Every structure is written in C-alpha cells, then in structure tokens.
Amino acid sequence: MSDSEREPPNGEGGAPAPLDVQPEGYAPSVAARLARYQRAGGIITPFLTALVAFLMGGIVVLSTGHNPITTYKAIFEGSGLNWFFHFGSHQITIPGTDHQVWFWWDTNTNHVAAYNLTQTLITTTPLILTGLAVAFAYRCGLFNIGGQGQYTVGAIVGVFVGSRFVELAHFPHVLLVIVLASLAGAAWAAIAGFLKATVGAHEVITTIMLNWVAYWIGSYLFGRGGPLQNHRDAAVPVSDDIVDKARLPVFWGNSHLQGLHVGLFIAIGMLFVFWFILNRTTTGYEVRAVGFNPEAARYGGISVSRNFVLAMAISGLFAGLAGAIDIMGWQFRLGVLDVQVSNIGFIGIAVALLGRNTAVGVGFSALLFGALFTGTSTRSLDPSVFPPELAGNLALMIQALILLFVGADVLILYLWQARRKVGLGRRAASSAAVEEA
C-alpha cells in the first residue's frame, strides 16, 4: 500500500467529524477535497479510463469491418490471460526436484494459452520497471520522459558486461550485469536531475535529449564497424551474444523457445522496493516532501536540488535494470534495430500514469499493457478474426487513448486549481465556503 491509499481513521473520506467530538475542527479546503477526489477516483478512474479507451478502440475495429467483440476476445486469448480461467487436473513439477504435485492450471507451454501467457509476462517485466522509473520521479515532482534512454543505456551496459567476464561464475556474473546496468541507467538519469538542480534546465527537455544521445550511442556501438559489433558476421549490426552464464534462468517454459525468466520476480520485487523506499525510508520522505511542496521541504531543512538528482538517479536505476533484464532474460544480444525501435521506456509513461504512480497500480497497468501488446502481436493474434498487421496499430491507439484520458484527468484537476487561483471558481469557492461550517 502506498501512502496515497491509506485512509484516515475518522471517516475523513466523506462525512465530517461527528458533532459531539470536534465540531469546529473540520474545515476541508478545496485541496483536501481534491485529494479526496483523487483518492476516491484512485481505483475507479483508471478502470474507467482503460474501459473508455477500449470502447473507442472497438469503434475503430467496427469501422474496419470487423467485429469488436470477437476481436477483443481474440486479443484476450492472444495475451494468454484466458489461461487463468481454464481449470482442470494437471501436474506440476516442484522446482529443483522431480516431485510432481497436482495443480488446477495447465502449465504446459506447448499449449497455446500457457505459452501466450509467458510471452505476456515477459513483456510485463520491463514495463513494470520502466513504469516505476516514471512513477518514482513523478513522486518527486519530476516528469521523467527519459525512461527509454535509461533503458537503452542499461541494455548497452548489460550486453557489454554480459558478453565479457567469461571467467565469472553464474550468479556473480548475473549480479554484476544487474548492478552495472542499473548504475548506468541511474547515472544517465542523474544527468537530467543534475542539470535541473544546478542550472534549472527542465527535465522534460533534457531527458528527451538524453534519449536521443542514447539512441545514437547504441546505433554507433553496434552498427557496422562499431566498436561493440559482433565478431562473427561483420554484415550484421548486432552485438555479441551474452554468455550462457549471464542469462537469467527460465522457470516456466522452454528456455530455447523464449521461456519465462526469473526477471519477473525481480520486477515484482522492485514494486515492493519502490513502495518501501517511498514510504519507509528518509529518502522517500524527502522525495515525497519535495514532490508535494518543495517550498515546505526546503523550510524543513531538505535539500531540494539534492533530491532532484537522487530521485532521477533512482528512477534511472529502475529503467536501467529493465534494459539489463531484457538482455539477460530473452534478447541475449542488442542490435541497432533493437535500440531504434524499442519503446518500452515510453510505454512506461503510460504504465505509470494509468497506475497513478503507485506500486500496486504500476504492477497492474504493466500487466494490462503487456497483455495488450502480446495479444495484438502477429504471433499471438488469430489472423482469421482480425488482421494482425492492423492489430499492432490498434494496440498503439488504445495506448494513446489511455494516455489521452489519463492526461485529460490531470488536465481537469489542473484547470480546477487554476480556475480557483484566478478567482473565477464560483462553484469551487462558494461551495468551499459553504462546507466550512
């Protein structure tokens, strides 16, 4: 639970305090009601947002002459989420043993649903992390658009470290890749934080610029004749493969057929780490204080500029980790094309916004986007229902609609506040005065 999901004990959520206890203590400001609105809407509005986006996507499907209901059903099945609804009597092997125990779901990835689900979860894994990268900065009042660049830098360092240090054992090697790639992502993001803290350069601008720097660095390094191009085929602009020991173990499915790797658990663990840092550490306290009210934070003795750098660095840590996990989990190499077409970092923005920048929200919305992209991929979608070459666009469109609606939600809140500032808020101001009593 993040702090925004905590409820005060005395029914502050709706009813004023009871008269006999403390009649004059209650005077909700507009800000308080806004916060309440956000919290009350915290669960409902993301659902509504996604629902409306899918509805509008359905209209587009209809306009192409296809049936939206069967199309969505096909996407759902393509994502493998239908797996959860098929019960039966199956066997599952306890990891590390030969023991078989009874299980109600069919885990055999030779079957389509289970296989699709593993693919969805493989996509969900980095989305969780890039979502956290955006969310963490957001909680410090910063808009990190640079998840993509940080992800790329993490992947570059990941593939470099993973394809070298061959003498290292399995676990130390994996750990080394993770640590160095995360630190690289952190350093990359910290540049934007540092520029903001020292010369006031806006992080939206600087992170976008850093995205392009990472893009071209990657393109150069692995391009033809580039210093990190592979040693086997000079015609292919791809890196060397990482060594087998640097791969993440696959725990579900066939490791030769892109099985589900343990990076998923790392990502889920990071959801908890995210929550823990924000709510249980002094660093998180500072980050949130700066995010809510930098002026009050400064008054409290907190260095705002230091927190800008720190929050960006932690953000970049998540994104860099995402890059490393993709390399170690299923990509094993990085090509110019990978660097140039990847948009995992950008989808992270949608993930964070839809998830309201909370740990739980990011987890679920990463799953939603992971399922959406897998379900609409040419590999998973039933071509007899909806042409997969259109489906990819449908996914992008739904993503854009979700962003638009989430953005509109923020916009409405912003206008509400702005209206009050100019003194035009007849309703807002008068009802605030009214509620004072």
Tokens of 304: 């705002």
Residue 418 sits in the site that holds other proteins (CB under 8 A): no
Tokens of 19: 């008269």
Residue 270: count of CB within 10 angstroms of its CB: 24
Instruction: Give CA–CA dist 255/105, Å, rounded.
Output: 20
Single residue of 63, 89, 282, 384 touching other proteins by CB under 8 A = 282
Nearer to other proteins, 18 or 269 (CB): 18
Residue 333 sits in the site that holds other proteins (CB under 8 A): no
Residue 407 sits in the site that holds other proteins (CB under 8 A): no
Contact indicator for 148, 340 with CB cutoff of 8 Å: no
Residue 396 sits in the site that holds other proteins (CB under 8 A): no
Region near other proteins per CB under 8 A, out of 174-182, 199-207, 364-372, 428-436:
428-436
Single residue of 298, 396, 397, 416 touching other proteins by CB under 8 A = 298
At 353, the amino acid letter reads L
Residue 6 sits in the site that holds other proteins (CB under 8 A): yes
Contact indicator for 328, 126 with CB cutoff of 8 Å: no
- Which stretch of DSSP H or E encloses residue 311? helix 304-326
20 burial class (0-12, 13-18, 19+ CB within 10 angstroms)?
A: exposed
Single residue of 84, 292, 337, 411 touching other proteins by CB under 8 A = 292
Residue 23 sits in the site that holds other proteins (CB under 8 A): yes
Tell me phi and psi for residue 261, to 5 degrees: -100, 170
Residue 200 sits in the site that holds other proteins (CB under 8 A): no
Tokens of 139: 């909680």
What x/- string results for residues 29 through 68 when contact with other proteins is judged by CB under 8 A?
Answer: x-xx--x---------------------------------
Q: Which of 251, 243, 266 is nearest to 173 (CA)?
A: 243
Region near other proteins per CB under 8 A, out of 83-91, 110-118, 297-305, 410-418:
297-305
Residue 167 sits in the site that holds other proteins (CB under 8 A): no
Residue 419 sits in the site that holds other proteins (CB under 8 A): no
Contact indicator for 363, 49 with CB cutoff of 8 Å: no
Nearest-approach distance from CB 136 to other proteins, in angstroms: 16
Nearest-approach distance from CB 139 to other proteins, in angstroms: 11
Residue 11 sits in the site that holds other proteins (CB under 8 A): yes
Nearest-approach distance from CB 5 to other proteins, in angstroms: 12
Instruction: Give CA–CA dist 77/74, Å, rounded.
Output: 5
At 135, the amino acid letter reads A
Residue 94 sits in the site that holds other proteins (CB under 8 A): no
Q: Which of 369, 397, 407, 395 is nearest to 131 (CA)?
A: 369
Q: Which of 205, 196, 201 is nearest to 310 (CA)?
A: 196
Nearest-approach distance from CB 348 to other proteins, in angstroms: 24
Which residues inside 303-332 make contact with other proteins, applying CB under 8 A?
303
Give the binding site for other proteins (CB under 8 A): 3, 6-12, 14-19, 22-29, 31-32, 35, 279-286, 288-289, 292-293, 295-303, 420, 422-426, 429-431, 433-434, 436-437
